[in-house]
A and B are shown apart, each in its own frame.
Chain A
């Protein structure tokens, strides 16, 4: 009640409640109990306990991604706090707002003594991977510190914020009047500020589009953040502009739309490479142009492209590409403005765009046929793309939400499951960090009780958070897991195959039966090794009523062609150490890549290869 004194625990709970936090993810420790109890007594806050702090953080991220509502992760200090770093960094890379809270030491760090190791500055670790970090110095500032953290994490370019809570504050008391009023709770939605673009800039963008010969609409994570899917689709279809998405923008546009190039970024292979070499104008919406997108620069992109860059964060402008027109504003709002401006000019596209998009569509269908033919060929064991096709059908039929984790596994999933609809797939790819799959699936499932979540994961990635199968059971979540079990850290094994003369070190995994592990945790689990077995196994899994796992044994010699594009970015400037004969061999030997297409593709990457070899003098290498 007002006027009474309340404890730090009660105060912090009320502050989080006032910030509209409905879910707090944690891993229990004795010291946290009073605070967790206080949170649970709030009634409208749900405390979800994970088996590890690492997993709790990823669950919070998954919940936020799906619900577009703010959530918190709360842990103890020291190693428990540092265990949040992987999840927080993932959220940071994908620009997901997340409130990261941990207890911290009561005393200030004293660096003068080399042995005084508890007194390190834990918050400092979060500095490079958060939007903002701070420490609660006293209870009286709690309200403003939490408000600031939530505000910063949800404004402009979004991202996680970290707050350290000195443990002594939990037991201190404070006058209840300095706390926000209890009750009146409403879960905080992450609202985009509907900032409109400068009219002039929009005019110039419209003019640039109208004059383009081969325009491309390139959609990034900003489209999800702004909820601009309909506007983006409207613009593309209204004018007939082909659409590609970045990795973060996966699902921003239906993959099976004729205007869509295919899977995100390089996963659409030669279609994407052709588009970014031949386009003369690119309308980029909420894209950061990082390494995953080849920085938007040569050698992968044509340097004749004129960019129109639409983004809410001014610091993103000019970071890698230098736009012809930069429009600062919310994606949905600016796209609407752009459509209106073009309509105002009576502009409905140019006739030559039809040829341009038809050409890309032809490449796309050629690629789709080739991929399918490859997958349907006889392989020693199940082709990974074939497994992905089967799963894709199930996703489509049952309207599942799909979470993807792994190395090659996500590439196969996006290449072979073209029916994924906007908002349906969760592909936390910012850091390309393995292992978040199970906790992501839990977070996504908690945010959408009426849908079923399917996790598609590599075998390497699956184990990182396997302990959370217990959490799935405990919370009674109907999550389905499909393990693409190729007994390998295959994305990297493929690299050793092609660049290191098959010197396989640290990339082979033993033949582990993951269905046994899942059964150990009490899940319904089966192992399959043929494509026809997948759908029936799935039926039985659904019939079991609870969470289930399908361990699909697949062929480890399969290598997706889009991997090559990743290599080009990852090893740009580094190929000097690789002999060109080995590299050439690798290009020919990638078994999934038809020689025909390979040559086609290589016309686009030849320049890139020449560029990395010649100045660095490979001739002297082994």
Chain B
């Protein structure tokens, strides 16, 4: 018979759930967890230089791979740093599992001035889908399963578990029978199958679309990240409806798609948008919501969701389909072939791409960045954009440059997320080329993380737009990055090959002045 500690039990449950990466800075109360991780060999601990960055790395990892991962911070002291980073998972619909130790179960609530303690579960209420405290050793497996279920079902998002130190250090007998009862396969502790919808789900979407002359598809978080629903993306392509994405679904359409108009930020205020006579909305998010509200109230909506709470209220939802995008959009091509929307599509796509181009044309450096990315372009480039100008460049890249994925950091959520996010993305698939395009002030937020990136030999490339006047940021970007161990080259105009030559080896940076 085994006597696993709470920490060992936790780690076994995480491994069972397929977790391979934990982003974390240790604290004493995590002793048994780290000990178990070290002995299990199935999990890598990535140690950043602040817990905020740990959570942001977890976001990048999950966004890029679609796999959940764990952000872990120590009681009170670590958690209060983590909260800000985890809020990005909340805003971005990312199923990051956050775990923290707590003080002894008999001292958790109410707060009694324990060392490092606060009622930390309350910090997580507003920014997680679900959170709880595990008061008993035997409940660890069930609560871990529950955390994954809550994070991954419906509109995804982060969850948080607090585990008191006495529960983590406790050892209890685990008989084979007990083990079988407590530890179940992930497929049996949450619904992993497809959501088919009503038998004629596709037919209903089909009929609504057939009637439209100028339909527009707005796809948001429910479409998932690149590669999540490839068949649905192919269906959209076959239908020939113009498609716009939000920051939460950027780049889900295949490279070279003729339907992909780009990011909806670039379409904002375009005349063509006002001519739309039907919106196909797949997986709403807070970005697409505002956009749809601005399209006339009379324009009907066809909405596909995997979460029944997500259907719009207060406007004409002609057809509401509760199904996976795959199932709802299967066999759509006849719908639009009949209606022939090709000239409308061409008009829309051209207008949207022009808008992205002219926004970009205001900043010469955007052209330089796009050229560099094109030159270095391969299907393995993962581009992370952080800052206003970098976001403009990324929006053009979406429809014009070969890439694997594009992630645009939304400054309204949290600033400076780009570098840790890029590191997380790199770790999820070390064979990809992760390129961070950022401005100077955004880079400085978490610039420290270049040190572990350098020491870990991570192949990450930074293109930094050095656009800040010297009074508001007196540091020399190149010296700061070299001091942290980066291989730095500066270029005023962006010469051919500057980026390409950076794409191999340790962290390197190109600074555009």
Please list the residues of chain A having a beta carbon within 8 angstroms of any beta carbon in chain B.
27-29, 49, 51-54, 77-80, 82-83, 85-86, 89-90, 92-93, 112-122, 124-125, 127-129, 288-292, 295, 319-320, 431-435, 460, 463-464, 466-467, 469-470, 473-474, 489, 491-492, 495-496, 499-500, 503-507, 510, 512, 516-522, 566-567, 569-578, 616, 620-622
User: Provided the pairs A117-B286, A496-B34, A576-B171 are in contact, do residues A522 and B165 lie with their beta carbons within 8 angstroms?
Assistant: no
How far apart are B54's CB and chain A's nearest CB, in angstroms? 11
| Residue from the set B24, B31, B106, B412 with the largest chain A CB neighbour count within 10 Å | B31
List 12 other contacts, CB 8 Å, given A522-B475, A574-B170. A79-B415, A124-B126, A128-B120, A295-B113, A319-B113, A432-B76, A467-B446, A492-B28, A506-B25, A506-B34, A566-B28, A576-B169
Instruction: Decide if B62 is an interface residue (CB 8 Å cutoff).
Output: no
10 nearest interchain CB pairs? A520-B483, A79-B414, A290-B113, A291-B115, A577-B169, A433-B77, A505-B38, A574-B169, A463-B49, A291-B114
Roughly how many angstroms separate A512 CA and B447 CA in the complex, as a whole number?
A: 15
- Our pick among A295, A431, A504, A622 for the contact of B77 (Cβ within 8 Å) is A431
How far apart are B92's CB and chain A's nearest CB, in angstroms? 8
Q: Is the CB of B414 within 8 A of A83?
A: yes
- Our pick among A431, A495, A506, A517 for the contact of B451 (Cβ within 8 Å) is A517
Roughly how many angstroms separate A366 CA and B124 CA in the complex, as a whole number?
A: 48
Instruction: Decide if B445 is an interface residue (CB 8 Å cutoff).
Output: yes
Q: Is the CB of A128 within 8 A of B455?
A: no
How far apart are B453's CB and chain A's nearest CB, in angstroms? 12
User: Provided the pairs A80-B414, A121-B126, A464-B448 are in contact, do residues A290 and B115 lie with their beta carbons within 8 angstroms?
Assistant: yes
Mask, B487-506, CB within 8 Å of A = 1, is 00000000000000000000
Q: Is the CB of B118 within 8 A of A89?
A: yes
Instruction: Give me 23 A-to-B residue pairs in the complex whose CB atoms sit less than 8 angstroms apart, sorted by A's number.
Output: A51-B441, A86-B80, A86-B81, A113-B310, A115-B307, A118-B91, A124-B125, A124-B126, A319-B112, A431-B76, A435-B50, A467-B447, A489-B25, A489-B26, A500-B31, A520-B481, A566-B28, A570-B115, A571-B169, A574-B168, A576-B166, A576-B171, A577-B170
Instruction: Decide if B296 is an interface residue (CB 8 Å cutoff).
Output: no
Q: Is the CB of B413 within 8 A of A520?
A: no
Q: Is the CB of B483 within 8 A of A521?
A: yes
Q: Is the CB of B91 within 8 A of A117?
A: yes
- Inter-chain contacts of A517 with B (CB < 8 A): 451, 483-484
Q: Is the CB of A85 within 8 A of B112?
A: no
Q: Is the CB of B445 within 8 A of A51?
A: yes
Mask, B453-489, CB within 8 Å of A = 1, is 0010000000000000001111110011111110000
- Our pick among A77, A114, A520 for the contact of B310 (Cβ within 8 Å) is A114
Q: Is the CB of B171 within 8 A of A113?
A: no
Q: Is the CB of B416 within 8 A of A52?
A: yes
- Inter-chain contacts of A464 with B (CB < 8 A): 49-50, 81, 448
User: Provided the pairs A115-B289, A521-B483 are in contact, do residues A79 and B84 lie with their beta carbons within 8 angstroms?
Assistant: yes
Count contacts on B: residues with CB < 8 A to the other chain. 100
Roughly how many angstroms separate A575 CA and B473 CA in the complex, as a whole number?
A: 49
- Inter-chain contacts of A129 with B (CB < 8 A): 80, 118, 123
- Inter-chain contacts of B175 with A (CB < 8 A): none
How far apart are B381's CB and chain A's nearest CB, in angstroms? 27
Q: Which residue of B lies closest to A92 (CB)?
A: B118
- Inter-chain contacts of B483 with A (CB < 8 A): 516-521
- Inter-chain contacts of A127 with B (CB < 8 A): 122
How far apart are B15's CB and chain A's nearest CB, in angstroms? 15
Q: Is the CB of A115 within 8 A of B414?
A: no
User: Provided the pairs A463-B451, A570-B28 are in contact, do residues A128 and B221 lie with their beta carbons within 8 angstroms?
Assistant: no
Instruction: Decide if B229 is an interface residue (CB 8 Å cutoff).
Output: no
- Inter-chain contacts of B481 with A (CB < 8 A): 520
How far apart are A225's CB and chain B's nearest CB, in angstroms? 16
- Inter-chain contacts of B444 with A (CB < 8 A): 51-52, 467, 470
Roughly how many angstroms separate A86 CA and B166 CA in the complex, as a whole number?
A: 25
- Inter-chain contacts of B473 with A (CB < 8 A): 51, 470, 474
User: Provided the pairs A85-B80, A125-B123 are in contact, do residues A492 and B26 lie with their beta carbons within 8 angstroms?
Assistant: yes
Instruction: Decide if B21 is an interface residue (CB 8 Å cutoff).
Output: no
Q: Is the CB of B76 within 8 A of A433?
A: yes
- Inter-chain contacts of A29 with B (CB < 8 A): 411, 415
Instruction: Decide if B428 is an interface residue (CB 8 Å cutoff).
Output: no
- Inter-chain contacts of B155 with A (CB < 8 A): 114-115
- Our pick among B7, B39, B171 for the contact of A621 (Cβ within 8 Å) is B171
How far apart are A69's CB and chain B's nearest CB, in angstroms? 25
Instruction: Decide if B90 is an interface residue (CB 8 Å cutoff).
Output: yes
- Inter-chain contacts of B114 with A (CB < 8 A): 290-291
Q: Is the CB of B35 within 8 A of A54?
A: no
- Inter-chain contacts of A80 with B (CB < 8 A): 414-415
Q: Which residue of B lies closest to A118 (CB)?
A: B286
Instruction: Decide if B5 is an interface residue (CB 8 Å cutoff).
Output: yes
Roughly how many angstroms separate A291 CA and B29 CA in the complex, as a whole number?
A: 14
Q: Is the CB of A128 within 8 A of B479?
A: no
- Our pick among B38, B104, B126, B475 for the contact of A120 (Cβ within 8 Å) is B126
How far apart are A472's CB and chain B's nearest CB, in angstroms? 10
Q: Which residue of B lies closest to A290 (CB)?
A: B113
- Our pick among A49, A77, A93, A569 for the contact of B118 (Cβ within 8 Å) is A93
How far apart are A186's CB and chain B's nearest CB, in angstroms? 30
Q: Is the CB of A503 within 8 A of B169?
A: no
Instruction: Decide if B27 is an interface residue (CB 8 Å cutoff).
Output: yes
Roughly how many angstroms separate A474 CA and B441 CA in the complex, as a whole number?
A: 14
Q: Is the CB of A622 within 8 A of B484?
A: no
- Inter-chain contacts of B482 with A (CB < 8 A): 520
User: Provided the pairs A82-B84, A92-B118 are in contact, do residues A467 and B448 lie with their beta carbons within 8 angstroms?
Assistant: yes
Q: Which residue of A lies closest to B77 (CB)?
A: A433
How far apart are B206's CB and chain A's nearest CB, in angstroms? 25
- Our pick among B78, B87, B104, B472 for the contact of A28 (Cβ within 8 Å) is B472
Q: Is the CB of A291 within 8 A of B83?
A: no
How far apart are B93's CB and chain A's nearest CB, in angstroms? 7
Q: Is the CB of A520 within 8 A of B479?
A: yes
